[in-house]
Amino acid sequence: MADRQRRLVVVSNRVGPLNDEGKAGGLAVGLSDALKRRGGLWFGWSGDISEEGTFSAEHTEVQDHVAMTTIDMNQEDIDGFYYGYANRSLWPLLHYRLDLAHFDRQSDRVYRSVNQRFASRLAPMLAEDDLVWVHDYHFFYLGSELRQCGYEGRLGFFLHIPFCPPEIFTALPASHDIVRAMLAYDVVGFQTETDRRNFVAFCIRELGGEKLDGRRVRVGDRTVLAQTFPIGIDAHGYSRFATSPEAGEHEEMLRDLAGDRLQIVGVDRMDYSKGLVERFRGFERLLEDYPENRGNVQFLQVAPLSRSELGAYVDLRRELEELAGHINGRFATLDWTPIQIMTRGFTRRALAGIYRAARVCLVTPLRDGMNLVAKEFVAAQAADDPGVLVLSRFAGARAELSDALIVNPYSTDDIARALQRALTMSFDERSHRWEHMREAVFAGTAAHWCDDFLASLESFDPVTPETDAA
Ligand code: ADP
Ligand code: F6P
């Protein structure tokens, strides 16, 4: 086994694309960057809804040594599994938003059943020496279902979003079932130490588990490795995107539009976890408290629509559009529109050009697993005019990008002050901060993330004590 690379099998709700098509979501971006290098099988939902019978159609497409095999689901499954349980129960809860979380028996049932059916479709495709790597909160039960199907090979799980403290997670009626199911994996990966600690605390306090040496956790007869693996981007590839002709066109267009004004950008799926309302208010406060910026800055928020079937997302869109209208109504002049919001997708090259035209990028989520936009912004900057990153203290990326201007995303005043500081920052300070962040982005790429995770999955031995206590 040692001299032959094992096949990688990745499972995630969204699959692909491997190319530069516009696709909003850190998981798809991180995984396609990693899979293109190593090849393997990528298994998940096709993104299509088929009424002919759920799980009936299976599609396979091979590209760059990656076989992408997907299945359709029907409306009932999508409603219960994706909209219901994954995005109305788990997503808000894990992002510390108990106020937005809904729990109901029907979606819990459908979520478990979809996990079970994915497992029974996948199990016959697996070999015992595969490395199976399951992703994100859509598939907490998939590993234990694969074990039920008799699969005994290596199983890893990576959570792309935060893992909230046990005090919040226990509000989920199935919280114990979910964490017990996570113990069917051999390695459980998190974006940050905070997430990992919250998981370990749940195992200890709620399930009577114990922390062994290093990062091993034991609950009953199961021992798992709980470790932090911060996801990154393909930093070299992304810098090349930023100097492509398509990026150049977008950069130039935005610079022409801005003229002498400084450009502020934000790029986020339209999601309540991204702190967009607070960010817009922070921009308004900038114009109130530092009036010299009126007429001299413009703010472009790119916010592709996401999960628009859910009420919380519909409400957010309405609120943001009203807020943008209010700010423009209050401050606009005949030749200046302070804030613009766009919901369309862009190719990754086009987005890189937009980042490059910006003096400031606002990444102010109220809570975020990692946030790849922050890393992309850094990778896209040019050394002769680097922009400034304003980053939330609650984004996972904060651990690596401490040279950003770190803000409390709930504080309108803090955002306004950081914006003012970013807009007036000297070239030397901008350069210095950017150089440090650039080093971090190039040191922790998607390739490192993938290699580190797979090396741990391959080498983890539940019975041998670890030496490096974390
Ligand atoms: P999340 O996974 O919560 O959406 P991330 O910041 O980690 O947040 O990842 C978002 C990814 O989606 C980034 O790679 C970003 O470039 C991409 N993205 C965001 N907005 C757009 C858009 N309008 N068009 C294309 N890609 C986008
Ligand atoms: O990165 C977090 C994540 O939830 C991914 O799992 C997901 O693919 C992405 O954001 C976009 O969300 P969705 O798949 O619901 O459109």
171 and 24 share a domain?
A: yes
Give the percent of the chain with pLDDT over 90. 86
Confidence class for position 23, pLDDT limits 50, 70, 90: low
Q: What is the mean pLDDT of the chain?
A: 94
Confidence of residue 1 (pLDDT cuts 50, 70, 90): very low
Predicted local distance difference test score (pLDDT) of residue 470: 43
Instruction: Give yes or no: residues 214 and 288 share one domain.
Output: no
**Both structure tokens of 439:** 């080093």
Return the closest-CA partner of residue 407 out of 393, 396, 394, 421.
393
Least confident range of 303-317, 393-407, 455-469: 455-469
Give yes or no: residues 180 and 288 share one domain.
no
Candidates 387, 318, 376, 319; CA nearest to 25 is 376
User: Phi-psi bin for 240: left (phi > 0), alpha (psi -120 to 50), beta?
Assistant: alpha
Q: Which atom of ligand 1 is nearest to the CA of 30?
A: 14
| 197 and 258 both lie in a single domain | no
Is the distance from the beta carbon of residue 160 to the nearest atom of ligand 2 less than 6 Å? yes
pLDDT tens figures, 210-241: 999 889 999 999 999 999 999 999 999 999 99
- Torsion angle, CA of 454/458/464/469, rounded to 10 degrees? -10
Residues 284 and 327 sit within 8 Å (Cβ to Cβ): yes
Structural domain contains residue 469 = no
Residue whose token pair is 């299945």: 71
* Ligand 1 neighbours by CB, cut-off 6 Å: 22-27, 29, 267, 269, 302, 304, 345-346, 351, 370-373, 376
Residue 247 belongs to a domain with what CATH number? 3.40.50.2000
- The whole domain housing 63 covers 8-232+448-459
Instruction: Render pLDDT for 414-434 as a digit per residue (tens, 0 to 9).
Output: 999 999 999 999 999 999 999
Q: Are residues 225 and 250 in the same domain?
A: no
Distance from chain centroid for Cα 358:
22
User: Is any ligand 2 atom within 6 A of the Cβ of residue 191?
Assistant: no
68 and 117 belong to one structural domain: yes
Q: Which two tokens stand for residue 199?
A: 């998981």
**pLDDT of 96 above 60:** yes
Q: Which of 78, 81, 136 to mutate to test the pocket of ligand 2 (most atoms within 8 A of CB)?
A: 136
pLDDT in tens, 152-161: 999 999 999 9
For residue 308, tell me if it sits in a domain: yes
Q: Name the band, by pLDDT with cuts 50, 70 and 90, for residue 18.
A: confident
In a domain, 191, yes or no: yes
The number of the ligand 1 atom at minimal distance from the alpha carbon of 306 is: 4
Q: Which whole-number Å values give the CA distances from 64 to 31, 40, 125, 244, in the listed order? A: 13, 9, 20, 22
- As annotated, the active-site residues are 160, 368
Do 293 and 386 lie in one domain? The reply is yes
Q: Residue 187 and residue 2: Cα distance in Å, rounded?
A: 19
- In this structure, the answer to whether residues 242 and 365 fall within a common structural domain is yes
User: Considering every ligand atom, which ligand is closest to the CA of 94?
Assistant: 2
pLDDT at 468 over 70: no
Compute the radius of gyration of the chain from its Cα atoms. 22
Mean pLDDT value across residues 240-254:
97
Average pLDDT over residues 108-136: 97
Residue 466 lies in a domain: no
Q: State whether 115 and 86 are in the same domain.
A: yes
Longest distance between any two alpha carbons in the chain, whole Å: 71
Please say if the pLDDT value at position 438 is more than 70.
yes
Q: For the residues 443-447, what does the mean pLDDT come to? A: 93
Same structural domain for residues 203 and 241? Answer: no
CB 249 within 8 A of CB 48: no
User: What is 385-432 written as a DSSP string?
Assistant: S--EEEEETTBGGGGT-TTSEEE-TT-HHHHHHHHHHHHT--HHHHHH
Cβ of 31 below 6 Å from ligand 2: no
Probe residue for ligand 1, chosen from 234, 373, 389 as the CB with the greatest number of ligand atoms within 8 Å: 373
